[in-house]
Structure 1
């Protein structure tokens, strides 16, 4: 466990104008989040326990989050803990990285100032980044089960990379016997909570896999995990019905045009999402399998270099010809499960590469 910097509460109060509502950027059942600029110019997010929990003398969630996050070195998968403080009542306060890109939930469901939903290439990249974050937790020693994976707990940094947040409900597992004998009562968010997780003994990494499957369906469909205007309201049951009717692609978000070269990849992502959200816990893939599957769907990094090189050299010439159907052939290298490098050829519309529709790292 790394040593945490202790911030002076006076500095945090000054940076938030005594935690005024004008600095409030997030609020949940466990706490409130305030945006603050420290004296050194660093912008941070400050998390305080909710007034309700303070009145109940229950600050276990924020203490648990501090304990979990302080066990990690700073990394690119999570919203990192920068330090802690204590308010005048002695309650723990967390100083976190500020995520200026907002949350996945808002990006998918709220249009602000004419902003458009994320394109398909970005959605696929999000899926990989979120899966890697969950994999980081499940492969940590000791292992961490998040228990509250949802679109509101996925935030974006300044480069629009997805990070996993909110570890108030997370459970640290030191051994298989501890997992089997867990005493943590089932917890999570309705719509994302694994229906198989009904007793403490049912705690498993597959609970997180189910929640990830719901998020993946949310990313692809652009609809909420629970929507009472939809029948059925559950995104999992709704998507399952579409699969049974062989209307798989009808699940996809109609607000964003689907590039034709991505149709097969999105279809396979949907199949993967339904495997994750299966009612049969044993048939769900591990998060490592999920990351491997998602990576197989992606074009490698050099596709971006090709796009930029072609664009820079032919910008003026191609500007008048983007409506043409000129094609180029690329070779996508993929790594198989055995570590061998394979090659796969595929034609991509040049106009789609220049438009930024090709999926990149």
Structure 2
């Protein structure tokens, strides 16, 4: 029997089944610990992740249980997205304490990859892809009905599936806007280094709060620097990066562990400046999620089809019967000195008629 608040694709799992799948929540099965819950690996019969509320003491357990209930409610309402953690179903013990059964994202977090011992750090092509996937996750939340404001976007809440695709997770603090069952939170919430200062000062909830956090993540992806690093001055990535962006020395922000290919330099710079806009002190100066997606997608397209591949595209154009004039038009604005120029398949097709 399915929970009345859950979507059609989600199941109600027997508690005994979940206990068996996790070997009675064996610590050896623990694969993660979030802001309000502990995650275990289980077999039901597919491999899944099972999340239960943390219970250090009764006060924290009640608070964490409420966050877990909220996470279940939000994910149950969301339709499936390739960029958001997928809820498979729920279970509950004899006391009514709920558990989440989720898809397993086995390849760790973005925080682990950027700042942990994992080698090597992500390539620049992969960084652009991750940025695009997370921006699409935020767009999906902000343009849904009801709108969802995540309130805790950060690199530890960005996890990778078996194909190394990034997904946004941990919806314990999320708020549904425009839902009759949702009441505005009385207090701001989030993580230091990622939380929007204008949210903490005014307690006014806005999708632009998420955009600020997304901007921090974009700067983190490009720089390889933590959102808050007390070993550096300034400790805040925002306070460090914004002056560099204003001085137009964005190359100093790029992660020095991996050389930026010449053909990607322009696109990486665009993402840095986009991150700077996202963390603007003025909410009205921040882009919406859709614009962030559009601009990163444009960069990603240029990464796929840099100028040095134009010879291949020229050959394709010739093989499919382009006239000389159309080929001239296609390459008219392409200069050997402009390493960020691109030719996309869409452009080739647009010249066909």
TM-score category (smaller protein): 0.7 to 0.9
Q: 3-state DSSP class of the match of 1:96?
A: strand
- 1:140 equivalenced with 2:123 (yes/no): no
1:28 alignment counterpart: 34
Listed one character per residue, the Cα deviations across residues 106-158 of structure 1 (whole Å, up to 9, x for unaligned) are 0111123xx20010001001111100000000000011000000001111111
2:311 alignment counterpart: 328
Aligned length: 316
Shift of residue 297 of structure 1? 1.4
Confirm or deny: 8 A CA contact 1:78 1:133 kept in the other structure. Answer: yes
Q: 3-state DSSP class of the match of 2:74?
A: helix
Provide the rounded CA distance (Å) in 2 between the counterparts of 1:110 and 1:328: 40
Q: 3-state DSSP class of the match of 1:94?
A: strand
Q: 3-state DSSP class of the match of 1:70?
A: helix
Counterpart selection for 1:64 from 70, 78, 90: 70
Shift of residue 36 of structure 1? 1.2
1:239 alignment counterpart: 241
Listed one character per residue, the Cα deviations across residues 50-76 of structure 1 (whole Å, up to 9, x for unaligned) are 013655433110000110011123221
Q: 1:246 to 1:302 in 2, by over 3 A?
A: closer
1:263 alignment counterpart: 265
Confirm or deny: 8 A CA contact 1:182 1:201 kept in the other structure. Answer: no
Confirm or deny: 8 A CA contact 1:278 1:284 kept in the other structure. Answer: yes
Q: 1:29 to 1:125 in 2, by over 3 A?
A: closer
Q: Return structure 1 stretches of 4+ with deviation > 4 angstroms.
A: 53-56, 300-304, 342-349
Q: 3-state DSSP class of the match of 1:89?
A: coil
Q: 3-state DSSP class of the match of 1:295?
A: helix
2:91 alignment counterpart: 85
Listed one character per residue, the Cα deviations across residues 207-240 of structure 1 (whole Å, up to 9, x for unaligned) are 0000000000000000100000110000000102
Provide the rounded CA distance (Å) in 1 between the counterparts of 2:111 and 2:229: 13
Q: 1:164 to 1:29 in 2, by over 3 A?
A: closer
What is the TM-score when the length of structure 2 is the normalising length? 0.82
Provide the rounded CA distance (Å) in 2 between the counterparts of 1:6 and 1:245: 55
- 1:173 equivalenced with 2:169 (yes/no): no
Provide the rounded CA distance (Å) in 1 between the counterparts of 2:34 and 2:160: 18
Shift of residue 9 of structure 1? 1.4
- 5 Å-filtered alignment, 1:278-293, equals 278-293=280-295
Shift of residue 196 of structure 1? 0.3
Provide the rounded CA distance (Å) in 2 between the counterparts of 1:231 and 1:267: 23
Q: 3-state DSSP class of the match of 1:186?
A: coil
Shift of residue 11 of structure 1? 1.5
- 1:2 equivalenced with 2:7 (yes/no): yes
Confirm or deny: 8 A CA contact 1:327 1:348 kept in the other structure. Answer: no
Unmatched tracts of structure 1, length 5 or more: 305-324, 332-341, 350-358
Shift of residue 182 of structure 1? 3.2
Confirm or deny: 8 A CA contact 1:329 1:348 kept in the other structure. Answer: no
Provide the rounded CA distance (Å) in 2 between the counterparts of 1:302 and 1:27: 36
2:222 alignment counterpart: 220
CA RMSD of aligned residues (A): 3.0
Confirm or deny: 8 A CA contact 1:107 1:118 kept in the other structure. Answer: yes
Q: 1:123 to 1:346 in 2, by over 3 A?
A: farther
Determine which structure has the larger helix proportion and give its number. 2
Shift of residue 2 of structure 1? 1.2
Q: 3-state DSSP class of the match of 1:249?
A: helix
2:196 alignment counterpart: 194
